[in-house]
Amino acid sequence: MPKKYLMVQEVARLLGVTPLTIRNWDAKGKLPAYRHPLNNYRMYKVEDVETIIRKMEISREKPKARKIDIVG
């Protein structure tokens, strides 16, 4: 049976960020955490993590428009 939830360390490794970044995203509402009922650890739904991965991939694909200001 596939996992429904991932721990902070697992999510950080998958996204290539630090565990502190994952906790900060939780605090800012970017990636909501669910609490384990027995130990109160943060747990993240696999679907939520997959959504973040897709958003990261899309933002990498978009060419960034660059503005050049010429001061004369």
**Predicted structure pTM score:** 0.76
Fold of 5-61: Multidrug-efflux Transporter Regulator; Chain: A; Domain 2 (1.10.1660)
Looking at residue 3, its amino acid is K
Token output for 60: 């990498």
What residues does 5 pair with on adjacent strands? 45
pLDDT greater at residue 70 or residue 34: 34
Can you give the pLDDT at residue 45?
96
Please tell me which residue, 50 or 67, carries the higher pLDDT value.
50
How far apart are the two ends of the chain, measured CA to CA in Å?
65
The answer to whether the beta carbons of residues 24 and 12 sit under 8 Å apart is no
The DSSP output letter for 32 is -
